[in-house]
Amino acid sequence: MRIVLGIESSCDETAAALVTDERVILAQRIASQDEAHRPYGGVVPEIAARAHAERLTPLIEATLGDAGMTLDQVDAIAATAGPGLIGGVMVGLVTAKALAMASDKPLIAVNHLEGHALSPRLADAALEYPYLLLLVSGGHCQILLVEGVGSFRRFATTIDDALGEAFDKSAKVLGLGYPGGPALEQLALQGDAKKVPLPRPLKGSAEPHFSFAGLKSAVLRAKQSGEYSDADIAASFQQAAIDCLVDRLRGALAKAGKVNALVVAGGVAANKAIRGALEELAAGHDLPFIAPPLGLCTDNAAMIAWAGMERLERGQSDPLDVAARPRWPLDPEAQAVRGAGVKA
């Protein structure tokens, strides 16, 4: 049996996990920084980097302790090397390098997005490549054809905000606190999705990408108009977002060729209305719909350990001077999009 220690520190979660080649998560710990960032309504990079630096080493020790293991029993150390907030990424990667050097074990530099993209295979041994993945979180909003380890085709990304970001900003407009995605979903249950006319940015356009900035602004205008209840705004926003997702995914499914499943990952995958719509879309294409358990959808270290395991099994590892990368697109061939293009 092989075991990989995974480390994640690219955003506001400090996490460590031990995962086996038989897909068993032996132990995992996650320290969230939501409290530290809440007063600012978003992740503050400097606060995040400091928190990772303070927490990571004790967290790794505790994770090894939970599994009753020492570093000697681990076969490789995998850490997120990007994309993400560079201060946090460096804390995790430097720690991984030190552990790899001290224990003379291979180091595996994992692309955080690959961690998300392969996590469904940790949860489901039967899921074979290729599959179509919708990755939707606070930082990412992409449609990827996952062909294999290190082999991706990006069909769509966002030209402005990620979907989780749009949920959070809309939730803020409705006074729901941070991060507001889950609260907005709850409020939407009591609302009427047909009450507030909101745009479906890029829906039906030849451009395959996402855009949510205009939707978020429309939510602000709807709130300021005083004409609608918060619940109706929430429900209408969520439905507009779903319509955009389904429209863009239809286009991607048409382009992808034969795939084995439609898969969703990322924190927004927690949303039941979105899951329901995707399930229906998959059924319409005779495809299984796969959503990993929520703990694997949000940022975590088990997915990093698993991506490391898939690479280790293919004989891959990285030199100790491998660099941290704030931007690291999974599909190097994908064209840069208009807009900020910072969502990798």
- 165 in a known ligand binding site: no
Which two structure tokens, joined as six digits, stand for 187? 């409020």
* Helix, coil or strand: residue 35: helix
Q: Please, how many CA atoms are within 13 Å of residue 233, restricted to the half-sphere of its CB?
A: 27
The whole-angstrom separation of Cα 306 and Cα 309 is 5
Which region, judged by CB under 5 A, interacts with Zn ion, from 190-198, 217-225, 280-288, 293-301? 293-301
The whole-angstrom separation of Cα 88 and Cα 48 is 6
Question: Residue 82: what are its φ and ψ, rounded to 5°?
Answer: 140, 175
- 150 in a known ligand binding site: no
Minimal CB distance residue for Zn ion: 299
Which stretches of the chain are DSSP H helices? Answer: 34-37, 45-66, 86-103, 112-123, 163-173, 181-188, 213-225, 230-256, 272-284, 294-297, 302-313
Angle at CA 166, nearest 5°, toward 214 and 299?
Answer: 150
In whole angstroms, the minimum distance from the beta carbon of 204 to ligand KG4 comes to 24
In whole angstroms, the minimum distance from the beta carbon of 13 to ligand KG4 comes to 7
Binding mask 122-151 for Zn ion (x = CB under 5 A): ---------------x--------------
- 111 in a known ligand binding site: no
Buried b (16+ CB within 10 A) or exposed e, 205-231: eeebbbbbbbbbebbeebbeeeebebb
- 267 in a known ligand binding site: no
In whole angstroms, the minimum distance from the beta carbon of 215 to ligand KG4 comes to 14
What's the gap between Cα 336 and its chain centre? 20
Q: Is 318 in the site for Zn ion (CB under 5 A)?
A: no
Residues β-bridged to residue 135: 142, 265
Among residues 12, 299, 310, 318, the one that binds Zn ion under rule CB under 5 A: 299
Cβ distance to Zn ion smaller for residue 154 or 200: 154
In whole angstroms, the minimum distance from the beta carbon of 70 to ligand KG4 comes to 30
In whole angstroms, the minimum distance from the beta carbon of 138 to ligand KG4 comes to 3
In whole angstroms, the minimum distance from the beta carbon of 232 to ligand KG4 comes to 17
Site residues (vs ligand KG4, CB under 6 A): 11, 137-139, 164, 167-168, 179-182, 185, 266-268, 270-271, 298-299
Minimal CB distance residue for ligand KG4: 267
Q: Which residues are annotated as a binding site for Fe cation?
A: 112, 116, 299
Q: Which residues are annotated as a binding site for substrate?
A: 135-139, 168, 181, 185, 271
The residues binding Zn ion (CB under 5 A) are 137, 299
